[in-house]
Structure 1
Amino acid sequence: MNRRRFLQTSALGAGALIVPGLSGCAKSRRRKPNVIYILADDLGYTELGCYGQEIIQTPNLDRMAAEGIRFTQHYSGSPVCAPSRCVLLTGKHTGHSYIRDNGRAPGRPLDPTKGLFPGQNPIPDEEFTLAEVLKERGYATACIGKWGLGYKDSTGDPNRQGFDLFFGYYCQIHAHNHYPRFLWRNGEKVALEGNDGGLTGKHYSADLFTEEAKRFIRENQNRPFFLYLAYTLPHVSIQVPEETLALYKGKLPETPYKARGHYLRHPYPHAGYAAMVTHLDMRIGEILQALKELELDESTLVMFSSDNGPTYDRVGGADSAFFHSTGPLRGRKASVYEGGIRIPFIARWPGVIEPGRVTDHVSAFWDVFPTVCEVAGVPIPRGLDGVSLLPTLAGRGEQRKHKALYWEFRSYGGQQALRFGDWKAVRTGLRRPGTDTRIQLYNLTEDVGESRNVASERPDLVARAKELMLASRTKSKLFPFPEIYEREW
């Protein structure tokens, strides 16, 4: 059975998962609603003003939160880029998703000086994405920004995964430069004259993405559309236009960052990083303004989040300690402690989402797929790990809750995590000989910083966590992780 036929036959009826009283949200409008999902890259939980940031200015996202709903317990799909994006687009957590770690596609060369970027392991044709489901139902679809799930012409090419338009970076390593020599549009290389791959240039990728996104919105204003706008900000290298850098330069203490690897030097890393976040905020403001000007505000659900926690301290010049990028949370990017996976999540939909709401509902990336399906009145495919968040967004109906949220990540020592109720179970060092791999247990209500391991006090919950961890995963041939079973629990 081909994938198109699979999408037609493996779905539950849309009404089966629509909570009574909510179906009118989509059906009462003249057409199916538009959906825009905006993704930041390595943005920490408390790097927005509306989440407590005191140095970096983010007025547009703060306004978006004031006009919509802000989630305080939302989680990414993974603590690093590629698997998180796979989870987002396929609706399956890393115990079931095809991509469970970063990694270059095998057998492909890497030489940035020659413009050679290998791309990441491609998701196979057998997988189906949210974009494919929406495209089948008449949506125009676009992925603009960073992809990271396959190289050009592979099975993971975004044009083969449901997107009518792709403009951006196929490869995550290519995306480490915000003034690239070229980008890609639907398989065609787009040369960017005036960019030489250095610290500055003529064409800033985030600005190009914003213009492309506004063009896509304008061209499809008379039909339903799905825009996945995956900015590369504020991922290092630290690079930002001078006019935005000027907002912070000379106002923050600085130690120049010296180039390391393919991350570029920067004389003002604190100012540069803060400016990158503010620049992201400015461009998102342009997207929201475009919707208002085109009178698409009330027919468009806009969501914003980050793919994982902030960059580890001092890598590329980033300094999460200085900016208190995770607040009280433990860990950073590449960690399954809260700081690596708890992320901002804001949604705005005038007329549907009541302004100024804050929710502590526990949710994750794999909930986005079924949420968008329900919003669009599209049948929800079987086999997803997520649940629709529409009851929480709209403030009506009963919200289904997860029995547990699960993560596994075989890099950085090998890690597992499980959120169940107020409890968090963590295993680390699974691929490091001689480390203690027994389950750590934390009560997040009392100890959000995961500083007091109470596993010895609650053997009943440790046993329950082990049971849920084992039940939450299938084995992966691409990312084998036998240590989960072999090491001490």
Structure 2
Amino acid sequence: MIHSKHMIAAIAAVLALLSATAVASDRSETPNIILIVADDLGYGELGCYGQQTIRTPRIDQLAAEGVRFTDFYCGSPVCAPSRSVLMTGRSPAHAYIRDNGDFRGGAALKAKQGWEFPGQQPIPADEVTLAEALQQRGYATAAIGKWGLGHCGTSGDPNTQGFDLFFGYYCQRHAHNHYPRFLWRNAEKVEYPGNDGRSLTGATFSQDEFTREALGFIRDHKDQPFFLYLPVVIPHLSIQVPQSSLAEYEGRIPEEPYEHNAYLKHPAPRAGYAAMVTHLDKAVGQVVDLVDELDLSDDTLILFTSDNGPTYNRLGGSDSDYFNSAAGFRGLKGSIYEGGIRVPLVARWTGHIPEGTESHEICAFWDLMPTLCEVAGAECPEVANGISILPAMLGEGSVDDREYLIWEFPGYGGQQAIRMGDWKGVVRNTKRGNRNLELYNLKDDPAESNDVAHKHPDRVARMQELLKADRTESPLFPLQRRRPNRP
């Protein structure tokens, strides 16, 4: 009898070990993914990218424990189209959303859903998002922060686009105040007494709510694969931050007066802006610390990037010149020059990404869909036209050969850009019928200050040919001004 009990116990132990091994094996093939996207954070606003004034020790640590990309680009120089590229994997010349723009067709939905802000033009129902691809692989999914791709009830509703949980701002205009009267949890409003949505301060700072929700989501799903998309609103204007964070910089940075505009006016704008970025850095640290505390670091890929370049100088009190926010690159948010589209990307995946590495691979937002699908073993939608940069992340060599990257942005007069190795072509003012291409050698001229198009006619012709050929026409966001029909 005793022998039999021992035999049964031994068999049970073996079965448990086999089961645990199978679970561990399955788990290793579906690592957690945390994608943190800052809002209007410039390439040069992190310490690991050369920032001298604003302190970002936790993001710098993330880079030191993983990889830092030097030539990574966002999807567009403004918010909504950049997020569209990120979520759908379609490059800017093929994406459905190519510019900011409020949704104009939601009068009935506004009354039914209780909207107070219109939201942006929604992505279509048939788009397959990164969240949907991962959800089909068995991932729990959450988007916490600013969405900008359609309000609840529209075809762009994140709950119908692959996210189990949405928490935050649906509308970018709503997100212009960091002390809102309410946020959204899926289709329900979460009210914040003590916030009036119009004042510089209030009782509840939205970034702190995003952090709290993110930590809760990680704890709730620590035993299953999860995708946490954190499109935070910092450091987008208005300049607002809790006093405890402001105190770290106030009186330590020289201030200059600025003209008030539509955004809330801050009495110490440079200190406030720096404090916002450092406040975000601490939030990133909280997320990383929880991942480590739960012993998930080997099973969690954490990425940090920004949706576009830094905001226009002195708008709303921001001072991109003072902080060297674009790291010497030409242009800011809204510009197709490097300052408007080159953004940070750091990634940590303990035990997989070598520590303290740097990648010079030329890559962009539309590469993250195939990359993260490969990480998760998920099926990447065929319409996604990026390539996986996982080999570059893991330090295993160069990514697949690719001749060029193309941007198309109908805003700010209409702009196109193409990067081919060290060469960058830029076309501006397409709405005025301009087709002339400026040419820059980024290796010799990273600030894009010396147009050498006249010296390289063959290269210019090739770029113009590609800009014309590798695109689809957008009826919603045309690159050229529509001409009236003539009889």
Superposed, which structure 2 residues align to 1:317-396 within 5 Å? 317-396=317-396
Partners of 1:181 and 1:398 in 2: CA distance: 48
1:60 — aligned with what? 58
1:463 — aligned with what? 461
TM-score for the superposition, normalised by structure 2: 0.91
TM-score for the superposition, normalised by structure 1: 0.90
- 1:425-454 Cα shifts (integer Å, max 9, x gaps): 001111247xx5410000011100000000
Distance 1:397 1:456, change over 3 A: closer
1:292 — aligned with what? 292
Shift of 1:305: 0.2
Partners of 2:153 and 2:383 in 1: CA distance: 27
**Conservation of the 8 A alpha-carbon contact between 2:67 and 2:356:** yes
Matched, 1:214 2:197: no
1:9 — aligned with what? none
Shifted more, 101-110 versus 474-483: the winner is 101-110
One-letter amino acid of the counterpart of residue 451, structure 2: N
C-alpha root-mean-square deviation of aligned residues, in Å?
1.8
Shift of 1:401: 3.2
Partners of 2:183 and 2:367 in 1: CA distance: 30
1:444 — aligned with what? 442
**Conservation of the 8 A alpha-carbon contact between 1:255 and 1:267:** no
Matched, 1:242 2:216: no
1:7 — aligned with what? none
- 1:282-327 Cα shifts (integer Å, max 9, x gaps): 1000000010111111100000000000000011111100100012
State the number of aligned residues: 454
- Among 26, 33, 36, the residue aligned to 1:35: 33
Distance 1:484 1:141, change over 3 A: same
1:454 — aligned with what? 452
Per the alignment, in what secondary structure is the counterpart of residue 70 of structure 2? strand
Shifted more, 137-146 versus 475-484: the winner is 475-484
Per the alignment, in what secondary structure is the counterpart of residue 325 of structure 1? coil
Partners of 1:205 and 1:432 in 2: CA distance: 41
Distance 1:328 1:398, change over 3 A: closer
Shift of 1:31: 5.2
**Conservation of the 8 A alpha-carbon contact between 1:258 and 1:264:** no
Q: Which has the larger radius of gyration?
A: 2
Per the alignment, in what secondary structure is the counterpart of residue 218 of structure 2? helix
**Conservation of the 8 A alpha-carbon contact between 1:32 and 1:224:** yes
Partners of 1:162 and 1:39 in 2: CA distance: 18
Shifted more, 388-397 versus 311-320: the winner is 388-397
1:405 — aligned with what? 405
Matched, 1:79 2:80: no
2:13 — aligned with what? none
Matched, 1:230 2:228: no
Superposed, which structure 2 residues align to 1:164-203 within 5 Å? 164-197=164-197, 198-203=199-204
**Conservation of the 8 A alpha-carbon contact between 2:136 and 2:378:** no
One-letter amino acid of the counterpart of residue 294, structure 1: L
One-letter amino acid of the counterpart of residue 61, structure 2: R
1:472 — aligned with what? 470
1:5 — aligned with what? none
1:20 — aligned with what? none
Partners of 1:84 and 1:452 in 2: CA distance: 27
2:206 — aligned with what? 205
One-letter amino acid of the counterpart of residue 425, structure 1: G
Shift of 1:94: 1.2
Unaligned runs of 5+ residues in structure 1 are 1-25
2:156 — aligned with what? 156
Partners of 1:411 and 1:480 in 2: CA distance: 9
**Conservation of the 8 A alpha-carbon contact between 2:353 and 2:395:** yes
Shift of 1:258: 5.0
- Flag as ranges the 4+ runs of structure 1 deviating above 6 A: none
One-letter amino acid of the counterpart of residue 73, structure 1: D
- 1:82-138 Cα shifts (integer Å, max 9, x gaps): 00000001001111110000000114589xxx9721100000101110100111111
Partners of 1:302 and 1:457 in 2: CA distance: 43
Distance 1:115 1:192, change over 3 A: farther
Unaligned runs of 5+ residues in structure 2 are 1-23
**Conservation of the 8 A alpha-carbon contact between 1:440 and 1:455:** yes
